[in-house]
């Protein structure tokens, strides 16, 4: 879901609305979906397929998704944010699109820092923040990329089972409840939340946790109109 539209995938049936319904290609057995500001990507039996556009900054402008999406097969998971997409491929993470850098928007090519992550052991959860990536595997949580706000400094975690990303912070569901790290200017990344959640989500200014009795706890600034992005 983005502020321009959304897609849903239910039992292999993909439907999109808003901006993301424009130019949706025929897909062969989609089994994963990622939605950015003006693009969407799906994992299919034929590899990853993206449509729409990525924004490469004022110099580059809008670029068709087919011009920046690599040829990839045997993908396991896909995730992304407004202009960056990443997928798990053969125990590693491969990213594409654009990301904000020190001098403006950067194209995420094969040599970009986002594609310099570690070898993973049975990765099963992938998140993408603004210029950083985290993955959960049998060893634990690994984060890499931009670390301007400590968003790749993963704290000790007791048996993490799920991770979510805001813009420059991340959180994990653990035996202790929820542990967060990264930028905490609005209180969105507390070190510990003593709740064992049934669902968790995050955005730029807040983290949202749903307890087993259905109560929603918000940490950070619950700005009107800035909704959480719930992802599986």
**Average model confidence (pLDDT) across the chain:** 89
pLDDT for 125: 95
What are the extents of the domains in the chain?
Answer: 48-220
pTM of the model: 0.89
68: phi then psi, degrees, rounded to nearest 5? -120, -10
pLDDT tens figures, 44-102:
988 999 999 999 999 899 999 989 999 998 899 999 998 999 999 999 999 999 998 88
pLDDT tens figures, 168-179:
999 999 999 999
Domain 48-220 has CATH 3.20.20.140: no
pLDDT value at 26 more than 90 = no
pLDDT for 226: 53
Q: How far, in Å, CA of 176 to CA of 13, rounded?
A: 37
Residue 71, judged by CB atoms within 10 A of its CB (0-12, 13-18, 19+), counts as: exposed
Q: Which residue has the higher pLDDT, 175 or 20?
A: 175
Q: Judge whether 69 and 78 are in contact, CB under 8 Å.
A: no
């Amino acid at each position: 879901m983005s502020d321009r539209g959304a897609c849903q995938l239910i039992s292999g049936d993909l439907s999109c609305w808003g901006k993301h319904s424009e130019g949706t290609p025929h897909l062969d057995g989609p089994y994963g979906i990622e939605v950015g500001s003006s693009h969407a990507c799906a994992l299919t039996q034929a590899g990853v397929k993206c449509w729409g556009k990525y924004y490469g900054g004022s110099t580059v402008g809008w670029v068709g998704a087919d011009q920046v999406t690599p040829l990839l097969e045997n993908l396991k998971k896909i995730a992304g944010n407004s202009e960056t997409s990443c997928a798990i491929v053969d125990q590693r993470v491969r990213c594409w699109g654009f990301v904000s850098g020190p001098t403006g928007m950067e194209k995420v090519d094969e040599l970009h820092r986002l594609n310099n992550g570690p070898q993973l052991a049975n990765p099963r959860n992938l998140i993408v923040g603004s210029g950083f990536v985290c993955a959960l595997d049998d060893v634990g949580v690994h984060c890499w990329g931009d670390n301007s706000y400590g968003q790749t400094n993963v704290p000790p975690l007791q048996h993490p089972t799920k991770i979510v990303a805001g813009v420059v912070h991340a959180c994990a569901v653990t035996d202790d409840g929820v542990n967060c790290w990264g930028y905490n200017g609005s209180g969105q990344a507390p070190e510990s939340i003593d709740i064992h959640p049934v669902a968790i989500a995050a955005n730029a200014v807040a983290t949202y946790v749903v307890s087993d009795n259905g109560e929603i706890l918000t940490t950070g600034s619950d700005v009107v109109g800035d909704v959480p992005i719930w992802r599986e």
